[in-house]
Amino acid sequence: MPTDTIYGLLGRATNKKTVERIYRVRHRSPEKPLIIIISSLADLNSFGIKLPARDKKVLLKIWPNAVSVILPCMNSKFKYLHRGTKSLAFRLPNKKWLRDLVAQTGPLVAPSANPEGESPADDIKGAKKYFGDNPDFYYGRGKRISLPSTLIGIKNGQVEVLRQGKAKIER
């Protein structure tokens, strides 16, 4: 389905079986964590993430936006998500319909809709070529030609751009 950036394979982040299935279907390297879409800053609490005041202030200026933020997650309960990195990437999308969906479903993992090493699908037809009958369903909204999210890290209120994507971020 489309996200606020590109088409993705979405599933509940809190369901380990779902997450593992997405890794298999997408042929994703098991060492790489997935980006998690949230509906509000409060969703970070369910992952045991406590933001320092300076970092929270920065996030409130950046989000909602096509920006994924890597945050520390030391909780071993979420090793299936952080894959031993002890950090997770979260995005609070700027598309209200997507935030509303996530408010109903809970946080969703959202890797791009392509096998690792291939270009992301820009519509349902492209996604079906990649994945066939593996997903439970497809949901399309026409062509989605965009850059992936910008990926940043925050430490002590300072932003580090790790991957420039759709959103332009200033330090």
Is residue 31 within 8 A of residue 84, CB to CB? The reply is yes
pTM: 0.92
Ordered structural domains, the chain, with CATH:
11-163 (3.90.870.10)
Alpha-carbon distance of 151 to 171, in angstroms, equals 13
**pLDDT for the residue 3:** 92
Identity at 44, one-letter amino acid code: L
H, E, C per residue of the chain: CECCCCEECCEECCCHHHHHHHHHHHCCCCCCCCEEECCCHHHHHHHCCCCCHHHHHHHHHHCCCCEEEEEECCCHHHHHHHCCCCEEEEECCCCHHHHHHHHHHCCEECCECCCCCCCCCCCHHHHHHHHCCCCCCCCCCCCCCCCCCEEEEEECCEEEEEECCCCCCCC
**pLDDT for the residue 91:** 97
**pLDDT for the residue 124:** 93
121 closest CA partner among 11, 3, 18, 24: 3
**pLDDT for the residue 140:** 85
The tokens for 113 are 């809709």
**pLDDT for the residue 41:** 95
Alpha-carbon distance of 134 to 128, in angstroms, equals 9
**pLDDT for the residue 147:** 82
Strand partners, 159: 154
**pLDDT for the residue 157:** 85
**pLDDT for the residue 166:** 87
Residues of the chain under the 50 pLDDT cut: none
Strand order in the sheet with 67-72: 11-12, 108-109, 35-37, 87-91, 67-72, 150-155, 158-163
**pLDDT for the residue 171:** 59
Is residue 82 within 8 A of residue 73, CB to CB? The reply is yes
